[in-house]
Amino acid sequence: MRLQDAVEDLYDNYDKYKEVLEDVAKETEEAGKAQVLMVGNGAKLRKTLAGLLDTAEEFIDVNLVEAINPEDFEKAAMGDADAIQNIRDAFIDARAEALGLADDPALDAFKDKLAHLSDGAVLDVDTM
């Protein structure tokens, strides 16, 4: 249900959220980019992306927002499953980069497992 609500919100507020993505891209300072995501439509976008990715808002940061392909963002607003998966992959890549794990070979296996989870399923990392 959280995913469906997020897609509906993304669709309803696409123009506002697209502006947020553009504002983040325009900012030159990291603090300014982060500030865009903390207030108004930026904060709402963080909440919607958290729902789309089934994660906590705290994990939606500038690195993720900058990694989102604008075409995937638009298609995700229309409910395109491949675009949503691409945004999920961008999220995983951004988190892996932040944690220094971007070159870890286990990352691809982890992404593959996540891609095949049903909505609401729990990932058992001990079986990876």
Q: What whole-number distance in Å separates Cα of residue 91 and Cα of residue 111?
A: 10
Is the residue at 58 inside a domain?
A: yes
Q: What whole-number distance in Å separates Cα of residue 127 and Cα of residue 2?
A: 26
Is the residue at 125 inside a domain?
A: no
Please give the pLDDT value at position 71: 94
pLDDT band for 11, please (50, 70, 90 cuts).
Answer: very high
In the chain, beta strands by DSSP E: none
Is the residue at 104 inside a domain?
A: yes
Is the residue at 93 inside a domain?
A: yes
How many structural domains comprise the chain?
1
Render pLDDT for 31-90 as a digit per residue (tens, 0 to 9). Answer: 888 899 998 999 999 999 999 988 889 888 888 899 899 999 999 999 999 999 899 888
pLDDT average, residue stretch 12-31: 92
Is the residue at 128 inside a domain?
A: no
CB 59 within 8 A of CB 95: yes
Is the residue at 65 inside a domain?
A: yes
Q: Which domain range does residue 46 map to?
A: 2-120
Render pLDDT for 82-118 as a digit per residue (tens, 0 to 9). Answer: 999 899 888 888 888 877 777 777 777 777 776 666 5
Please give the pLDDT value at position 122: 45
Please give the pLDDT value at position 128: 45
What secondary structure does DSSP assign to 54-75, as a single string?
Answer: TS-GGG--HHHHHHS-HHHHHH
Task: Choose between 94 and 16: higher pLDDT.
Answer: 16
Is the residue at 126 inside a domain?
A: no
Is the residue at 83 inside a domain?
A: yes
Task: Choose between 124 and 44: higher pLDDT.
Answer: 44
Render pLDDT for 36-50 as a digit per residue (tens, 0 to 9). Answer: 999 899 999 999 999
